[in-house]
Amino acid sequence: MSDFVPTPNPEEPEDPFLLRGRVALVVGAGDPLGRAAAVGLAEAGADVAVASLRAGPQEVVRVNSVANEIWSLGRANTAITLDASDANSVDAAVARTSSELGGLDILVNAADLPVAAPLDELTPDDWHAILAANLLAPALTSRAAARVMKVNGYGRIINLVSVLAARGVANTSAYAAAHAGVLALTRALSQEWARSGITVNALQVGLYEGQHGFGDDPETVRQVARMLPAKALVQPEDVGPAVVAMAADSGFITGETIAVDGAATARV
């Protein structure tokens, strides 16, 4: 076991939810949750790099439009395309964020590759692709970001996962296993970097309307919503402020998973 250096107390900030002067990288910013995170962080005053996972034309348009929203909020930004399961590509994205925006304080992993099929139909190649996009990607981005964060002794890593990480649904074996893996990643890295000023937390998001692959079917959406106390699904916009709260935290919350699911996992 390594020796520990004393950790100082944090200064009480004038405004506990302001991120002025902080730089964030949001991976998967073309997805609704990633967009909400990026816009929320910019509203709180952070400069934000938005990264898209896929280089497809629609994705590029989506990410550029998020970059424009950040610009219209008066914050610096940059749009990046990366292959989040390729270490070189990830390292280059972090380096570009750092050089263009002047550092890296906050990493949001919002990349999400939804796949649902019975286990019998999932090939090993499917598994590799699902695990690469949903689990290896946040590990690689965290690794690259933490190299920068350790130098500054400050970092906030926030992993967005699906509620399927905690509850079982048929046909989601690989996807759910990958997302549950992200929660284990969150806990392990919270310990690995506990003395480096880096916190690692997860937001476990309930089914939301329009969620690609899971929230497309209106009948399913209606039935799931009916089971929630508020009788309505969570909105992607609810995730933005939760990301801000974790990004602005004083550093005593780490390794924790917070459900943003309208009490879906609170009930029997």
Partner 1 sequence: MAMPDRFRLDGQVVLLTGAGRGLGRAMALSYADAGAKVAGASRTLSQLEETAELVAERGGEAISIATDVTDRAAVEAMVAETIDRFGRVDILMNNAGGGAEGDGSPLEQLTDDQWRWGIDMNLTSQMLCARAVLPHMTERGSGVIINVASGFGLRGGRDNWMYVSAKAGVVNFTRSLAVTYGPAGVRTNCIAPGIFPHTPQALERWRGGRYIPVGRAGVAWEMGPLAVFLSSSAAAGISGETIAQDGGGLAAIGPTGWAPRVRLTEPT
- Measured from the Cβ of residue 98, the count of other Cβ atoms closer than 10 Å reads 19
Contact 81, 52 (CB under 8 A): yes
Query: 70 in helix, strand or coil?
Result: helix
The distance of closest approach from Cβ of residue 114 to partner 1 in the complex, given in angstroms and rounded to an integer, is: 20
Question: Which of 109, 172, 190, 211 touches partner 1 (CB under 8 A)?
Answer: 190
Among 31, 83, 105, 238, binds partner 1 (CB under 8 A): 238
Clarify whether 175 is annotated catalytic: yes
Q: Which stretch binds partner 1 (CB under 8 A): 27-35, 57-65, 95-103, 183-191?
A: 183-191
Residues paired with residue 108 on neighbouring β-strands, in sequence order = 26, 158
| Active-site residue (options: 44, 114, 175, 204) | 175
- Report, in Å, the least distance between residue 241 CB and partner 1: 3
Of 78 and 190, CB closest to partner 1: 190
d(CA 206, CA 47) in angstroms, rounded, equals 27
Kindly tell me which residue out of 158, 186, 215, 247 binds partner 1, with binding defined by CB under 8 A. Answer: 186
SS3 267: coil
User: What is the closest distance, in whole angstroms, from the C-beta atom of residue 184 to partner 1 in the complex?
Assistant: 10
**Nearest to 83, CA basis, from 56, 64, 106, 116:** 56
Check binding of 182 to partner 1 (CB under 8 A): no
**68 sits near partner 1 (criterion: CB under 8 A):** no
Give the tokens for residue 258. 């917070």
The tokens for 90 are 């990830």
Please report how close the Cβ of residue 158 comes to partner 1 at its closest, in angstroms.
Answer: 14
63 or 164, CB closer to partner 1? 164
Residue 246, C-beta contacts closer than 8 angstroms, at least 6 positions apart: 156, 158, 199, 201, 203, 253, 258
Site for partner 1 in 15-34 (CB under 8 A): 15-18
247 binds partner 1 (CB under 8 A): no
- HSE, side-chain direction, 13 A CA sphere, residue 36: 19
Residues 6+ apart with CB under 8 A from 158: 37, 106, 107, 108, 109, 201, 202, 203, 243, 246, 247
> CB under 8 A: which stretch of 105-113, 126-134, 213-221, 231-239 binds partner 1?
231-239
What string marks each residue from 38 to 67 as x (binds partner 1 by CB under 8 A) or -? -----xxx----------------------
223 counts as binding partner 1 under rule CB under 8 A: no
Q: Does the protein bind partner 1 through residue 74 (CB under 8 A)?
A: no
Burial of 102-111, coded b for 16+ CB within 10 Å and e otherwise, reads ebbbbbbbbb
The C-alpha atoms of residue 224 and residue 203 are separated, in whole angstroms, by 19
CA angle 46, 148, 190 (to 5 degrees): 85
Instruction: Name the residues that contact partner 1, by CB under 8 A.
Output: 1-2, 4-10, 12, 15-18, 43-45, 186-187, 190-192, 194-195, 199, 205-206, 228-231, 234-235, 238-239, 241-242, 244-245, 248-256, 258-263, 265-267
Q: Would you name the residues annotated as active-site residues? A: 175
